Structure 1
Amino acid sequence: MPPRPSPRTSPTHFLCIPLVTPASRPQLSKSLAAFKADVTSQDSFAIPTDAVRPLSTLHLTLGVMSFPNNEGVDKAIEVLRSLKPREILAGIKPLSSITSLAAPSQASNADGATQSLSSLNITLRGLHCMKSGPKADPSKASVLYAPPTYSEGIFQAFCEKIRAVFEEAGVMDKDNRGLLLHATIVNTIYVKGARGKKGSKLTIDATDILDRYDDYVWMEDVPVEKIAICRMGAKKIEGVDDQEYEIEAEADF
Structure 2
Amino acid sequence: MTGHKRSGAKHHARNPHLEKRPSLTHFLCIPLVNSASITQLEKSLASFKEDYPFISSSGLPERRGQSSNDHVSRPLIPEGAIRPLGTLHLTLGVMSLPNRDRLDEAISFFKSLNLDELLREAERVALQKQAKSHNKYRSNRTKNATEDPPQFSQNSIQPLTASLESLHAIPRAKAATVLHASPVDSTARLYPFCLMLRDKFIEAGFITGDSKEKEEKSKKNDEASERQTKTADEPASPRHDEPDQSNTSTISDPYTAALARTPKIRPLLLHATILNTIYVRGRLKSAQGPSHTHQKRKNVQKRIEIDARGLLDRYKNYFTDNTRTTPRVLDSQSSSPRRKESPAQNDEQPRPKTDSSEVMNASARTEPQFPFIWAKDIPIDSVCICEMGAKRLPDQGLDAETLDLNKRLGEKYVVVAQRAILDSSS
Give the TM-score taking structure 2 as reference length: 0.52
Distance 1:45 1:169 in 2: 43
Aligned to 1:251: 419
Cα distance, 1:151 vs structure 2: 3.2
Q: Flag structure 2 segments of 5+ consecutive residues without an equivalent.
A: 1-9, 56-72, 135-148, 210-263, 288-300, 317-370, 396-406, 422-426
Cα pair distance change 1:157/1:193, threshold 3 Å:
same
3-state SS in 1 of match to 2:99: helix
Distance 1:58 1:128 in 2: 15
Distance 2:46 2:315 in 1: 14
Give the TM-score taking structure 1 as reference length: 0.85
Deviations 1:6-26 (A, max 9, x none): 411121100000000111111
Larger Rg: 2
Stretch of structure 1 that moved more, 86-95 or 114-123: 114-123
Cα distance, 1:194 vs structure 2: 1.6
Cα distance, 1:152 vs structure 2: 5.3
Query: What letter is aligned with 1:183?
Result: A
Which is richer in strand?
Answer: 1
Q: 2:280 aligns with which of 173, 191, 196?
A: 191
Cα distance, 1:118 vs structure 2: 3.3
Matched, 1:225 2:314: no
Q: Flag structure 1 segments of 5+ consecutive residues without an equivalent.
A: 99-110
Matched, 1:158 2:198: no
Stretch of structure 1 that moved more, 199-208 or 89-98: 89-98
Distance 1:230 1:221 in 2: 24
Aligned to 2:242: none
Q: In 2, are the aligned partners of 1:36 and 1:49 still within 8 Å (CA)?
A: no
In the TM superposition, what are the counterparts of 1:174-185 in structure 2 within 5 Å? Answer: 176-185=265-274
Cα pair distance change 1:20/1:71, threshold 3 Å:
same
Cα distance, 1:126 vs structure 2: 0.2
Matched, 1:83 2:113: yes
Query: What letter is aligned with 2:81?
Result: A
Cα pair distance change 1:237/1:112, threshold 3 Å:
farther
Aligned to 1:20: 33
3-state SS in 2 of match to 1:146: strand
Aligned to 1:101: none
3-state SS in 2 of match to 1:68: coil
Distance 2:20 2:86 in 1: 32
Cα pair distance change 1:113/1:89, threshold 3 Å:
farther
Distance 1:69 1:41 in 2: 40
Q: In 1, are the aligned partners of 2:88 and 2:272 still within 8 Å (CA)?
A: yes
Matched, 1:73 2:66: no
Cα pair distance change 1:205/1:113, threshold 3 Å:
farther
Cα pair distance change 1:220/1:114, threshold 3 Å:
farther
In the TM superposition, what are the counterparts of 1:20-99 in structure 2 within 5 Å? Answer: 20-40=33-53, 45-92=75-122, 93=124, 94=126, 95-96=129-130, 97=133
Query: What letter is aligned with 1:230?
Result: C
3-state SS in 2 of match to 1:88: helix
Q: In 2, are the aligned partners of 1:61 and 1:181 still within 8 Å (CA)?
A: yes
How many residues are aligned here?
236
